[in-house]
Amino acid sequence: MNLTLKVLPQGRSIQVRKNTVLIEALHEAGVDLISFCNKQGLCGKCFVEIMKGKRPEPGAQEKWLLARKRLPGNFRLACLYRMTGDLTVRIPEEATLPLMPVLKRGFRRIIQPNPAVRKIVFAPFRPDLASPLSLSDQVRAHFPSPGKKASPALLKDLAILLDDSYGTVTAVIYDGAEILDFEAADTAEQNFGIAIDLGTTTLVAELVNLNTGKTIDVVTALNGQARFGADVISRITAVFQDPLKSEALRTAVLDSLNTMIEGMLKKHRIPAHRVYEAVIAGNTAMNHLFLGSPVKTLAVSPYHAVFSALSPLPASETGLLMNPRGKVYVAPNIRSFVGGDIAAGLTAIDLAHQKGDYLFIDLGTNGEIVLKKGRQFTATSTAAGPAFEGMNISCGMLAVPGAVYKAEYDDGLKVMTIANRPALGICGTGLIDLVSLFLERGVISPQGHIKGPEKKIGVGPNLFLSQKDIREVQLAAAAVKTGIRLLLSLDKLAVADLDGIYVAGAFGNYLNIPNSMRLGLLPRLDKKKIIFVGNSSLAGAKALLVSRQERARCERLAQKIRHVSLATDAAFQKTFIEALEFRAWK
């Protein structure tokens, strides 16, 4: 016998079989009711208002959960309600899943938060003489699967929390399978995580509310490892030659990250122990150095990694400033020199689910390039160097307030700075604009020579480009160009065949397309097909932080991507030398 379920405020009616659990019927009808406890009547998130229909008496636990939210008597938990007659329910907005936009600029994609870290409030009962249940038995009864693994250290803390009062406590559950911690009182709303873009030159950390997926703050800083070498190769070599340096490099980046995190947490008055998960998206070498893993095998042929994918680690093993019982998830490396940052970035733009042939270019200290042809992915990595991040350039700086990020020629050279501050230096996009303008106006030759006797081009007060700076841009652009050419030729595709080019990097959407094309950094393609996705590594890290589904997709993708090494390609040297000349693609 079918029953009618009417859902307000939408007003839709659906047919439901008798004895169906309400939450199942609603999920089937496309209403995304929240459930943190896997529909077990524990979390109290899926409350709905019964407008018309039976209202059976709630049990003790349900009553307690509804009372905590001060809900009137016609509210019930949808996971504990079985349909026995026609029903009209109203869905409160707070009971449905929030939506989170990925990559706000350039590319929009919406995902639903489904974080690995869940907080569930519960009230242990005081044992009595007739039934002196142990605390561990109580925990196990409440959380059947994760409760089984509660450690003595955790139970000890719970015993101390409860002591004589037996008040409300909050359990922090990980992936439905593990209890990470217990907290005094109801802290369900305080569930925070940190997404980290672990760049070779630049670090970005984003503080996120895990329940809603909302960003609280974002900070950028230089990677403290820079003093051991500007690029991946020089840092790996430093450790290879002196393995004791491994710990020095590890603590250098850790110190940078912890300073960033500390600043954000202080500003928003969030205690570090309320942060239970961090996601790291970095290239393979950065991930290895962050965890203090040996990098010897990355330094010598055949360049293999110690790890690609890892299970989430105990935070205490990483030293990150967060709850030491929390977890750190490292986005899966694809192969030796195409890392978790790319896997995360591809997940952020959901490239696997788009039809057609696409290039994905991530411009950082490494230039990673992924070509998607139909359903096949091929990735490679080129050593672009840190020029695009404003490093190794006489007046270079990160893309932070005061950096020249844009330049035009109109009656004379005009430069724009981030936040309109007085110019302090030149960041990556400004550099590309300047070199392109100087090339157009004949100040430098296509071979990169500065014409005239000065060998230095003035840009503003105390700002200039040297001959060495031009060379750095030339080498970086040539590396990327070569990578693109080789991948296209490997898959027998022409630029014109592409349905689009995704451009990612710290650049954001400030990169000037005509200028980039003039230097040959980007192939010539209809401007509409060039899609700037900004820092896709960070956006991906955030997607992995707030959604278990995105994590699973990312892991699947990382396993299927084919990797080619440019170093082994016979055509590399020749293509690279040709690419050194500043020239638009034919």
Q: How far apart are CA 398 and CA 386, in angstroms?
A: 10
Nearer to a copy of itself, 51 or 159 (CB): 159
Q: Which residues pair with 58 in a beta bridge?
A: none
Of positions 11, 57, 269, 311, contacts a copy of itself by CB under 8 A: 311
Using CB under 8 A as the binding rule, whether residue 296 contacts a copy of itself is answered as: yes
Q: Please, which of residues 139-178 interact with a copy of itself by CB under 8 A?
A: 140, 148-153, 155-156, 158-160, 163
Quick check: 443 binds a copy of itself (CB under 8 A)? Answer: no
Reference 283, options 217, 196, 173; nearest CA is: 196
Pattern 328-367, binding to a copy of itself, x per CB under 8 A? -----x-xx-------------------------------
Question: Could you identify the residue written with the tokens 């605390």?
Answer: 135
Q: Which of 136, 187, 251, 258 binds a copy of itself (CB under 8 A)?
A: 136
The answer to whether residues 281 and 541 touch, using CB atoms and an 8 Å cutoff, is: yes
* Tokens linked to 330: 């490292």
Q: Is 568 in the site for a copy of itself (CB under 8 A)?
A: yes
Nearer to a copy of itself, 57 or 128 (CB): 128
Q: Kindly indicate which of the ranges 134-142, 352-360, 494-502, 542-550 contains the residues binding a copy of itself, using the contact rule CB under 8 A.
A: 134-142
Bond from prior residue into 72 cis (ω within 30 degrees of 0): no
Binds a copy of itself (CB under 8 A): choice among 13, 134, 447, 573: 134
Q: DSSP for 494-551?
A: -GGG-SEEEEEETTTT---HHHHHHHTSS----GGGEEEEESHHHHHHHHHHHBHHHH
Starting at the earlier edge strand, list the strands of the sheet with 413-417: 413-417, 403-409, 425-426
Question: DSSP readout, 51-104?
Answer: EES--PPP-HHHHHHHHHTT--TTEEEGGG-B--S-EEEE--GGGB---EEEST
CB of 36 to a copy of itself, least distance (A): 23
Q: Is the sign of the CA dihedral 38, 42, 43, 48 positive or negative? A: positive
Question: Residue 63: phi, psi to the nearest 5?
Answer: -60, -45
Size of residue set near a copy of itself by CB under 8 A: 48
Is 308 among the residues that bind a copy of itself (CB under 8 A)?
Answer: yes
CB of 172 to a copy of itself, least distance (A): 18
Closest approach of a copy of itself to the CB of residue 185, in Å: 20
Asked if 244 touches a copy of itself (CB under 8 A), the answer is: no
Task: Pick the closer one to a copy of itself by CB: 309 or 513.
Answer: 309
Of the ranges 166-174, 310-318, 464-472, 481-489, which one interacts with a copy of itself (CB under 8 A)? 310-318
Cα 533 to Cα 350, 375, 507, 551: the distances in Å are 12, 21, 9, 20
Which residues of the shown chain bind a copy of itself in the complex (CB under 8 A)?
127-130, 132-137, 140, 148-153, 155-156, 158-160, 163, 291-294, 296-297, 301-311, 313, 317, 333, 335-336, 563, 565, 568
